[in-house]
Amino acid sequence: MSQDFNQILQQYSGLLGRVAASYEANHHLRQELLQEISLAVWQSLATFKGDSSLLTYILRVAHNKAVSHVAYHAKYPRNDSYCEITHASESQTLNSESHMQQQQQINTLLDEVRKLPIQTRQIVTLSMEGLSYQDIAEVCGIQLSNVGVILNRSKKVIMEAMAHVR
């Protein structure tokens, strides 16, 4: 693999980390998922032909790998005691109150996102990444008209949950 691929992976590592976080709450499994997603993206870059934007291409590959993870990890017992760390960043103590409040909001946001059905979760997270309705429809493989409907309903639910944290 060329050096370019490595640079692209580094450039999108935050994005890939957020995809992994939206599918897996367990810290260890999330890291494993992130590694699987990164490997899939790294492999897929060789066949990127520029038919779509690189961002939507990477997100398609990343979300598809994450969906496989949801099914595959049926083999593991979903026991909370498997890993006590659910939010990795909680261990990194943040000193100011505003930071702590922000962290709490992020954790609530992640919890709410993970409660969503897969397709809805994908639409919401892609929207929060700043993708247009057109791009979201392309990544999810759904009709453009459905994006707005699903997004409005689900964001309302999330924002209501977030309002309780503030």
Is residue 44 near another protein by the rule CB under 8 A?
yes
Tokens for 17, please give them: 């980390």
Where do we find the tokens 């499994």?
29
53 binds another protein (CB under 8 A): no
Tell me, rounded to whole angstroms, the distance of Cα 150 from its chain centroid.
Answer: 17
CA distance 104 to 98: 10
> What percent of the residues of the chain are helix, what percent strand, and what percent coil, each to the nearest 5?
80, 0, 20
Length of the chain, in residues = 166
In the bound state with another protein, the residue whose beta carbon lies nearer, of 35 and 81, is 35
Phi-psi region of 87 (alpha: psi -120 to 50; beta: other; left: phi over 0): beta
Q: Report the site for another protein in 86-145 (rule: CB under 8 A).
A: 88-89, 92, 102, 105-106, 109-110, 115-120, 122, 125, 127-130, 138-142
Residue 118 or 133: which CB sits closer to another protein?
118
57 binds another protein (CB under 8 A): yes
List residues binding another protein (CB under 8 A). 6, 9-10, 13-14, 16-18, 20-21, 30-31, 34-35, 38-44, 47-48, 57, 60-61, 63-65, 67-68, 70-75, 88-89, 92, 102, 105-106, 109-110, 115-120, 122, 125, 127-130, 138-142, 153-155, 157-159, 162
